Chain A
Amino acid sequence: MIDFTEEQLERYSRHILLDDVGVDGQEKLLQAKVLIVGAGGLGSPAALYLAAAGVGTIGIIDSDSVEISNLQRQIAHFTKDIGVFKVDSAAEKMQAINPDITVRTYKEYLCAANITKIIAGYDFIIDGTDNFPTKFLVNDACIFTGIPFSHGGILRFNGQTMTVVPGESACYRCSFREAPPPDAVPSCAQAGVLGAIAGMLGTIQATEALKYITGVGELLTNGLLTFDARTLTFRKINLARQKSCPVCGEEPSITHLVDAEQSVCELKSEPVAAPC
């Protein structure tokens, strides 16, 4: 049992007061380890809220540096951070909010060769990338290692998210078999995105991480939550685990991790799509 300091009691008082979180829940948060993939539009709010919540260890992986075009939605980065590694910029803000936590930064592009090693030991993963190869890679690696994760994506005015608990709930591939061919789907860089929806979706993902760690409520599993910010319509589409799923089904065809058609690890200078 953690002996909370006076400062911690005050800092986390609004969590401790919640019947469903309480002292035990805050203790779980302080002992939890969450990895955020991408320090962009989704990763920024998720990182800030998880840091504020007192998630004890937060990893954040991104190989990019801050560009001025990121600042419209990637709220962990400030104008002064242009040219700085996104993970360093994000870590600085997270520690400024809460010096109580440990932030681990990874200036790497997540790929088949490094993902297993990087995600090992984390309790929950937030996928905040917007490129399909990495989304499928995160899904497959999490299914293989049994680590739950939150999938998230935003484009234009729309967002979508689902939570996957490997072995229990539908995985991303159960519904979306494989990554669309490159250029079939536009990225934020081509299609644009309303900045605030990054906050809407990233905070949902952070909420799922907090719920998973504390055991509060029901996770967004076996369902895809989508929204259209133009009408502010939210929809929850029920999904089910598929026996025929190529990664979590009865006879999986994917048995080891491979990078998708583009070998992004070799494209460090020109990533397939900048994380939103």
Chain B
Amino acid sequence: MLRVKQEIIDEIVEHGRSEAPLEACGYLAEKDGVVCKCIAMKNIDASPVHYSMDPAQQFGAIRSCRAEGLAIRAVYHSHPETAAHPSAEDIKLAYDPALSYVIVSLEESSPTINSFIIKNDKVSSEQIEIIRAEKMTTTITADVFQNLRGIGCPMNLVKTKVAFSKMQSGQILGLILDNGPPINNVPRSVIREGHEVLSQEQLDDGAWSLLIRKA
């Protein structure tokens, strides 16, 4: 199992797209069992179908990882025009069985990422677990909190207005709103009434957490 932070996945895709139509390559470094760093390397082959890293840059990357307390966990590269599976050349050049080989395919409009372990020319695929970014911990706390999970439109707005009516100007109302029409409508209405939406974050269950300052 390869555990990777969501933002690293985003960086790999972005690197692949920025090099296309050439293949992009690089290292993934981990700490505490989670890949948390993407080290973009130069593809000295400058080819759309294969890649090689610059040995000097490889040593530099390994050194700086060590200095940061990170360990190289995987090699990644992009397939601009083909599927996310190792090519014959990829298998032949996979020299380190301790590393995972991550391939991002940019063939389709939404990229695909797969990870492989390649030992003695034998390829086995490896599961990737994407670790979502931790929620930003906000320093603002709500003076009044309303959990409007399961409350549809327009009663969620009615209850929001009732909550505001009991608050002083400048106080903060914390709201939990369902995804869909509630998150699409309630913030718009409170903004129209002059209140200020300070933050809006989606929770794991799809509902939204908002902080709103009363006008």
Residues of A within 8 A of B (CB): 1, 4, 9-10, 13, 16-17, 19, 22-24
Q: Using Cβ atoms and an 8 Å threshold, which residues of chain B touch A23?
A: 161-162, 164-165
Contact assessment for A9 and B193 in the assembled complex, using a CB-CB cutoff below 8 Å: no
- The count of A-to-B residue pairs whose CB atoms sit within 8 angstroms is 28
Stretch at the interface among B76-84, B107-115, B150-158: B150-158
Contact assessment for A9 and B158 in the assembled complex, using a CB-CB cutoff below 8 Å: yes
Contact assessment for B159 and A9 in the assembled complex, using a CB-CB cutoff below 8 Å: yes
Complex CA gap A24/B157 in Å reads 15
B135 near A: Cβ within 8 Å?
no
B166 near A: Cβ within 8 Å?
yes
In residues 169-200 of chain B, which contact A (Cβ within 8 Å)? 192-193
Complex CA gap A22/B192 in Å reads 14
Name the distance in Å between A228's Cβ and chain B's nearest Cβ: 38
Contact assessment for A24 and B165 in the assembled complex, using a CB-CB cutoff below 8 Å: yes
Given contacts A4-B162, A17-B154, A17-B161, 11 further A-B contacts (CB under 8 A): A1-B166, A10-B158, A13-B154, A13-B155, A16-B161, A16-B162, A19-B192, A23-B162, A23-B164, A23-B165, A24-B165
Q: Using Cβ atoms and an 8 Å threshold, which residues of chain B touch A9?
A: 155, 158-159, 162
Complex CA gap A4/B157 in Å reads 15
Complex CA gap A22/B161 in Å reads 7
Q: Mark B94-126, 1 if CB is under 8 A from A, else 0.
A: 000000000000000000000000000000000
Contact assessment for B161 and A10 in the assembled complex, using a CB-CB cutoff below 8 Å: no
Consensus secondary structure, chain A interface = helix
Name the distance in Å between A22's Cβ and chain B's nearest Cβ: 6
Name the distance in Å between B40's Cβ and chain A's nearest Cβ: 52
Name the distance in Å between B165's Cβ and chain A's nearest Cβ: 4
Q: Using Cβ atoms and an 8 Å threshold, which residues of chain A touch B164?
A: 23
Complex CA gap A23/B214 in Å reads 15
Q: Using Cβ atoms and an 8 Å threshold, which residues of chain B touch A24?
A: 165
Q: Using Cβ atoms and an 8 Å threshold, which residues of chain B touch A1?
A: 165-166
Contact assessment for B158 and A16 in the assembled complex, using a CB-CB cutoff below 8 Å: yes
Name the distance in Å between A263's Cβ and chain B's nearest Cβ: 51
Name the distance in Å between A2's Cβ and chain B's nearest Cβ: 10
**Residue among B162, B166, B192 with most chain A CB within 10 A:** B162
Contact assessment for A19 and B193 in the assembled complex, using a CB-CB cutoff below 8 Å: yes
* Given A16-B161, A17-B161, A19-B193: A10 touches B155 (CB 8 Å cut-off): yes
